[in-house]
Amino acid sequence: NDGDGGEGAQSLIDGKTFDGEKRKQRGTGKGKESKDSQRGKKLKRQSSKPETYDLSAIEPAKSKLKIVSWNVNGLRSLLEKHKTEVTEYFTRENADIICMQETKVNEDATDEVEKDICSIASGYKFYWSCSSVKKGYAGTLIMSKVKPINVQTDDVLGMGDKEGRAILAEYKNVIVVNTYVPNSGLKLDRLDYRTTNWDPRLREKIVSLKETKPVIWCGDLNVAHGDIDVADWKKKRNKVPGFCDSERENFGRIVGGDGREITDEMRQKRTASIGRPGGDGSGFLDVWNHLNPEKVGYTFWSYRFNARGKNNGWRLDYFVVSEEFMQQVENLLIREEFWGPSDHVPVALLLKKGNTS
């Protein structure tokens, strides 16, 4: 799962337990039935998806405009396996704009997927950015009931991206940028690409856009900015994708930090807290942190190792807005009750009516 820094982290942190169990089982000399029983128990612990969902608390925003961001972890699979639940969610949420990440839809399959979605949710126009380098990989989508003035789906950041990781939709009063930020890799093999290429280009792009109109930047941003944004942060700092100092500092250069100076001693001591790194930022605000500075707001839990049951989560999915646009924000809601169809949950931004169209 390319976008899940949390998935890789969970495997890295907890995987040793299961490796140990495997070695222990091999040495017992027990029969086939015992091995099958052990395997079943292990699989049960690895998967923690709920069997039912209570979405009754999700209500349409009658007097507000609503934008949703959701890493769907494979859109075709989501619709095939959870169509009933997704239908109820779409109906209850009744979002004006839905930004999806990790759609994994190939360009030649978009028409089929659109028909499938239109059978359960009406009124949307579809704007896709699909990976052309690998089938069933990455990809982003904007579904909008409000017609944009302009849409850019091809190489939005001007860096030759062919993985379908960004879409820009310009509306009358705001620009929406939907991104699926590259994961740095379990072995951090893409960390340099992400932090020295992608992050600076993204920052440059949204800063330039902000000079023309207010910007709403959303998506799976694959970073936990503050210590509060990931469980057991001391085990993960600089060891797992999404929680490396360079990733966090880059994000802080956009949304600002808590003003704490990071000393050389703090950098060398992996268990030292660096809070929310970043200086004054670039004129943007992390909406969740701005509204809930001391509140945990995880948006991702791995399917494995009973992560949801242990609340071993990450905040990877964000809405970031231009500072001047924050006054138009009513609320930000994390739909924790809809975890399971995807390992990420939808995040809903509520705006005062009429602030895009």
Look up 220 and say whether it is catalytic. yes
Q: What is the C-alpha end-to-end distance of the chain, expressed in Å? A: 35
Look up 108 and say whether it is catalytic. no
CA 325 to chain CA centroid, Å, is 22
> And the tokens for 345?
């949950």
Q: Write the CB contacts of 270 (distance below 8 Å, at least 6 apart in sequence).
A: 234, 237, 238, 239
Cα separation values, 87 from 49, 118, 134, 336, Å: 18, 10, 29, 17
d(CA 336, CA 255): 24
d(CA 64, CA 41): 47
Q: Which residue of the set 180, 298, 303, 318 is catalytic?
A: 180
- The sign of the CA dihedral 213, 216, 221, 225 is positive
8 Å CB contact between 271 and 238? no
Q: Which residue of the set 220, 286, 317, 343 is catalytic?
A: 220
Continuous H helices in the chain: 5-26, 32-46, 75-81, 83-93, 110-118, 191-193, 199-210, 233-236, 245-255, 264-268, 287-291, 307-310
d(CA 220, CA 3): 7
Q: Just list the catalytic residues.
A: 180, 220
